[in-house]
């Protein structure tokens, strides 16, 4: 589903590589943690997968296709197949919970009927049905992240990618969000979580890809964070 073959990435005006010769393969339905300290290259890796940036060298394949060669007009289709969850939630503050979720459906040209059906369903999945009409700025951090998850889920993507999804949350709420991601994964969706939350990684015992200063230094099934170094 996601394949990196000697992928390197160097940003303009930077001397060091953000990623260097990284290779791995992620299959359909896997739950993978991408771990490492700040600046290890986790976010760069996610940006490469969603084709926000192109690799400087190497081959990055998503859904079996070299996404560096993907024409710009095909990018929306790629991104609709990948649901993104962000540390800072990236919600539109002056809109309601429903509107934020419906937004992701609208861009695909979904019908009103479809939107009316899918939005309450996905809000039910993340436990926010009761808050559908509230503005997101009135919600707690955990609730806002649930809205972010609902938005990522509503188009039924094949992959969910979360960049530090628990970074702004207290431990209890962080665990709730991770449990939600686990249940999403159990329904067959591939889940990639970039994090440096040691507790969460150790608790879930899933596949862990370790990055350090742009290099892949480990890739373990049922790995734990403490194995780094």
Partner 1 sequence: MFVSGLGYIIGETFKGLYRNRWMCITSTGVVVVTLLMLGLFMLVNLNIDHITETVKEQVEIVVYIEDQAAQEAVNDLYKQLSEHRQVEEVTYVSSEEHMRRLQMQLGGMLEGYDSALDNPLLASYEIKTVVPESVVELAEEFETYPAVSTVFYGQGYVENLFAVTGVLQYVGMALMLGLAVTAIFLISHTIKLTVMMRRKEIVIMKYVGASNWFIRWPFLMEGLLMGLVGAVVPLVILYYLYQYSIEWVAGNNLYFLSLLPAEPVIRELAKYLIPLGTGLGIIGSTFSIGRFLRV
The encoded tokens of residue 36 equal: 């490492």
Q: Residue from 42, 146, 151, 206 that binds partner 1 (CB under 8 A)?
A: 151
Question: Rounded to an integer, what distance in angstroms lies between the CA atom of residue 57 and that of residue 10?
Answer: 9
Q: What is the smallest separation between the CB atom of 94 and partner 1, expressed in angstroms?
A: 6
Element of type H or E holding 47: helix 42-49
Under the binding rule (CB under 8 A), the answer on residue 226 touching partner 1 is no
Cβ atoms 127, 49 nearer than 8 A: no
- Name residues whose C-beta falls within 8 Å of residue 103's C-beta, 6 or more positions apart in sequence: 92, 95, 151
Cβ atoms 219, 208 nearer than 8 A: yes
Q: What is the smallest separation between the CB atom of 116 and partner 1, expressed in angstroms?
A: 11
Q: Residue from 111, 172, 222, 229 that binds partner 1 (CB under 8 A)?
A: 111
Q: What is the smallest separation between the CB atom of 133 and partner 1, expressed in angstroms?
A: 16
Considering beta carbons, is residue 91 or 169 the nearer one to partner 1? 91
Query: Mask: binding to partner 1, 36-55, rule CB under 8 A, as x and -?
Result: --------------x-x---
Question: Rounded to an integer, what distance in angstroms lies between the CA atom of residue 227 and that of residue 229?
Answer: 6
CA atoms within 13 A on the CB side of 123: 22
Under the binding rule (CB under 8 A), the answer on residue 109 touching partner 1 is yes
Binding site residues, partner 1, CB under 8 A: 50, 52, 72-73, 75-80, 84, 90-92, 94-95, 103-104, 106-112, 115, 151, 155
């Amino acid at each position: 589903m996601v394949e990196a073959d000697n992928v390197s990435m160097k940003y303009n005006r930077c001397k060091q590589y953000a990623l260097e010769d990284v290779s791995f393969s992620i299959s359909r339905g896997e739950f993978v943690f991408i771990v490492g300290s700040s600046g290890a290259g986790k976010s760069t890796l996610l940006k490469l997968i969603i084709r926000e940036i192109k690799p400087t060298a190497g081959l990055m394949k998503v859904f079996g296709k070299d996404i560096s060669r993907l024409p710009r007009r095909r990018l929306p289709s790629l991104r609709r197949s990948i649901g993104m969850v962000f540390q800072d939630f990236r919600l539109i503050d002056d809109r309601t919970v429903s509107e934020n979720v419906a937004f992701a459906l609208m861009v695909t040209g979904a019908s009103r009927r479809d939107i009316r059906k899918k939005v309450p369903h996905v809000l039910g999945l993340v436990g926010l049905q009761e808050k559908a009409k509230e503005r997101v700025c009135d919600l707690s951090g955990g609730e806002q992240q649930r809205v972010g998850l609902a938005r990522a889920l509503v188009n039924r993507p094949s992959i969910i990618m979360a960049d530090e999804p628990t970074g702004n949350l207290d431990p209890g709420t962080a665990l709730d969000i991770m449990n939600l991601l686990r249940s999403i994964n159990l329904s067959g969706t591939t889940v990639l979580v970039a994090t440096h939350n040691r507790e969460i990684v150790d608790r879930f015992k899933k596949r862990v890809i370790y990055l350090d200063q742009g290099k892949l230094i480990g890739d373990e099934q049922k790995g734990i964070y403490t194995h780094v170094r």
